[in-house]
Amino acid sequence: MNFPENFLWGGAVAANQCEGAYNEDGKGLDIQDILPHGIKTPPTDGPTPDNLKLVAIDFNHRYKEDIKLFAEMGFKVFRTSIAWSRIFPNGDDAEPNEQGLQFYDDLFDECHKYGMEPLVTISHYETPLHLAKAYNGWVNHDLIGFYERYVRTIFARYGKKVKYWLTFNEINSVLHQPLVSGGILTPLAELSKSDLFQACHHELVASALATKIAHEMMPDAKVGCMVIALPLYPLTPKPDDVIATMHANNANDFFGDMHARGVYPGYMKRYFREHGIEIRTTPEELQLMKENTVDFISFSYYMSACISADPDKQVSEGNIIPGVANPYLKASPWGWQIDPKGIRYVLNRFYNRWQKPLFIVENGLGTNDELVDDGKGGKTVNDDYRIEYLNDHLVQVGEAIADGVPVMGYTTWGCIDLVSASTAEMKKRYGFIYVDCNNDGSGTLARYRKKSFYWYKDVIATNGGSLKA
Ligand code: BG6
């Protein structure tokens, strides 16, 4: 395998899906506190006891034990997010919450204790609830200023501890999930396209601003954007399917185009013109975006899908971006189609398009696991299916590296079991570490090493040499 010497192997989580402690130490509420059943059900008014994210896997209190387990696997990098509402409880507060700041100080220190670089997502689907209720999230221009205050605060505090930063998780998902991705309470069906793209513009300006400030305050920092990489293939070679696929891919790539090139692409200007979409921009904002492109592009990759020009073809949702099922691929029990070669394809496609280093910051198999006796008096999960999924994807990452694509690192999603983003349940597990917590909230929260734990440890120790092509 061709993994470079300094390849950043590790795992990824997000604050809202693992920390719990939703109202402790001065933390404010965020939008996840009103989504007890995930992204497909309407939000509640406030937190309800059936919301697993309120406690999640209690990472807030158990992070030392968990980081130690990650270190045992040999992680070089650990991706997590800072919960914005732990730092600014309402989002628009004048002063930050010291207890929240201290928590991440301790967490990052714990990573460094084991030589692990933190990779920090500044905003991962956890907009402070007050910003959603009082401002309708990123539709409102004021969010740029609140985000700026937040990033200045965390860059000043963690500048010596964190080198790798991601501005927004899966920023392109806002077109499909405006609440989760943009803190926008207006349901998608009622949201005008002008408001939706205005919100995109605000997030893109904020991202460029964060990149500029990061480079000014932390000269060694590397700032990336983060997008869902869900390659869309034409369902047939029919030219109409090919053109429909081109449009769908452009909609996803728009966000990477803006972060890598810093200018509105022609296809988007045409789309705005033809759909009567008007957004407010200023010459200063356009200049800011042009001058502050990112250092690298990071992405999540779970699946691919197909596009058809035929409106009668049944579309399913998978990971947020809708598409038609590929007749050549199998799917997970949650209907996410498994396509290892797709990761080689997107790595090549993204590099050819953007010419920036790439970082795979999410990949993995979310599925049911069964905790069994390990025959040595303990418990484990024999997750050969997860090993196969990860092995096959990593082999294709190796192929892309051999193709000449610069890949900085790879963090598996949910390196420890956590609450699912789409369905807010526990039984869709991704981890190398099983957490004893069930969909009904029962369980001891004890941690157990799965078979894949030892497999990944070996992959890291051999720098990919143990992978099976
Ligand atoms: C990505 C998100 O969309 O996919 C994560 O960045 C999420 O937050 C992951 O958990 C897997 O999705 P799910 O719905 O299986 O948790």
CATH number at residue 252: 3.20.20.80
Whether 467 is covered by a domain: the verdict is no
CA of 422 to the centre of ligand 1 (A): 6
**419 CA: nearest ligand 1 atom:** 16
Return the active site residues: 170, 362
Residue 62 has pLDDT above 90, yes or no: yes
CA of 299 to the centre of ligand 1 (A): 12
Residue-number span of the structural domain to which 285 is assigned: 8-461
The stretch 85-94 carries a mean pLDDT of 98
CA atoms within a 13 Å half-sphere pointing along the CA-CB vector of 193:
9
pLDDT computed for residue 322 by the predictor: 86
Tens digits of residue pLDDT in 106-146: 999 999 999 999 999 999 999 999 999 999 999 999 999 99
**38 CA: nearest ligand 1 atom:** 14
The overall longest dimension of the chain from CA atoms, in Å, is 67
- Site to substitute for ligand 1 among 40, 169, 359, 362, most atoms within 8 A of C-beta: 362
Band (pLDDT 50/70/90 cuts) for residue 315 is confident
Residue 390 has pLDDT above 80, yes or no: yes
Whether 178 and 199 have beta carbons less than 8 Å apart is answered as yes
**Nearest C-alpha to atom 12 of ligand 1 is from which residue?**
421
Tens digits of residue pLDDT in 379-388: 999 999 999 9
CA atoms within a 13 Å half-sphere pointing along the CA-CB vector of 459:
33
**Nearest C-alpha to atom 14 of ligand 1 is from which residue?**
422
Whether 291 and 206 have beta carbons less than 8 Å apart is answered as no
Label residue 404 left, alpha or beta by phi (over 0 means left) and psi (-120 to 50 means alpha): left
- Site to substitute for ligand 1 among 171, 420, 428, most atoms within 8 A of C-beta: 420
Whether 243 is covered by a domain: the verdict is yes
Whether 106 is covered by a domain: the verdict is yes
Burial class (CB in 10 A: 0-12, 13-18, 19+), 189: exposed
The stretch 392-418 carries a mean pLDDT of 98
Burial class (CB in 10 A: 0-12, 13-18, 19+), 234: buried
Residue 1 has pLDDT above 80, yes or no: no
pLDDT computed for residue 269 by the predictor: 98
Whether 79 is covered by a domain: the verdict is yes
pTM of the model: 0.98
Tens digits of residue pLDDT in 171-191: 999 999 999 999 999 999 999
Which residues have any ligand 1 atom within 6 Å of their CB?
A: 14, 17, 125, 169-170, 300, 319-320, 362, 366, 413, 420-422, 428
Tens digits of residue pLDDT in 239-278: 999 999 999 999 999 999 999 999 999 999 999 999 999 9
User: What six digits make up the tokens of 298?
Assistant: 């990071």
pLDDT computed for residue 314 by the predictor: 84
pLDDT computed for residue 321 by the predictor: 87
CA of 421 to the centre of ligand 1 (A): 5
Whether 1 is covered by a domain: the verdict is no
pLDDT computed for residue 317 by the predictor: 72
Q: Which residue has the higher pLDDT, 2 or 33?
A: 33
Band (pLDDT 50/70/90 cuts) for residue 412 is very high
Tens digits of residue pLDDT in 19-35: 999 999 999 999 999 99
Whether 205 is covered by a domain: the verdict is yes
Residue type, 382: N
Which among 304, 38, 83 has a CA at the least distance from the CA of 177?
38
As for how many domains the chain has, the answer is 1
Whether 468 is covered by a domain: the verdict is no
Tens digits of residue pLDDT in 332-379: 999 999 999 999 999 999 999 999 999 999 999 999 999 999 999 999
Residue 413 has pLDDT above 90, yes or no: yes
Q: Quote the percentage of the chain above a pLDDT of 90.
A: 97
Whether 3 is covered by a domain: the verdict is no
Tens digits of residue pLDDT in 320-340: 888 999 999 999 999 999 999
**Nearest C-alpha to atom 10 of ligand 1 is from which residue?**
421
pLDDT computed for residue 40 by the predictor: 83
**Nearest C-alpha to atom 8 of ligand 1 is from which residue?**
421
